[in-house]
Structure 1
Amino acid sequence: MKSLLRVVVAISAAIFISSACSDEDAYYLTVSPLSVHFTAKGGAEEITVSSNGYWTYQWNDKIPDWVGVDITSTGLRITVDENTDKSSRTAFLLIFKSVESLQDTFKTVMVEQWGENE
């Protein structure tokens, strides 16, 4: 009977300790803004990335030759070349947590540029 009581107490303690963990222990990733828009002239915009863990980025499709990305101390700097075409162009950048983590946290940023006549 004493051993059963010890098991119950041990399980109760484990449940209490695991439930006492704060939300600060959970992985988070915030990205702002989730879309950036450029005129045909191009330019640069800042994307703020906040996380309590490692994060990285990749393009949703092939790497567009008209967009540059630099990591900054607060997130990413998106630089877009001039668009001399008449049509607009769009690319999607995925910002996600480390692949070592078990959580599936990612954000998609739309990079859009209007064409010369828009």
Structure 2
Amino acid sequence: MIGGFLGAGKTTAVGRLAQHLSDQGLRVGLITNDQGSGLVDTTMLRSRGFATAEIPGGCFCCRFQSLVEAAEQLTHANTPDVFIAEPVGSCTDLVATVSYPLRRIYGDRFEIAPLSVLVDP
């Protein structure tokens, strides 16, 4: 997961990292998140050719099961080697509400990397 406040450069970092990993021969699955619907970030990342799922209408901590379902859907459709998830900027306690539960509940199915947070663009 790559977190950070609105305007910190999360989507730019996600896109660049996804491209870098793709250039290395890895299949990348992206998961975007926002409070609203019809996410601009999702459209932009999909237009660059990345398999992208979106979770609108609430942060990952409020829509935890949707995050898991998005990862499973991308797994079945595209078999990615790696996922990059971009939570909404207002999601503040990602370790306790998302990373830890993912490791505890789904650690046998997914390897969870450390959370990265962007502070300044």
Q: Same fold (TM over 0.5)?
A: no
Higher-Rg structure is 1
Higher strand share: 1
Higher helix share: 2
Higher relative contact order (CA 8 A, sep 6+): 2
Superposition TM-score, scaled by structure 2 size: 0.29
Superposition TM-score, scaled by structure 1 size: 0.29
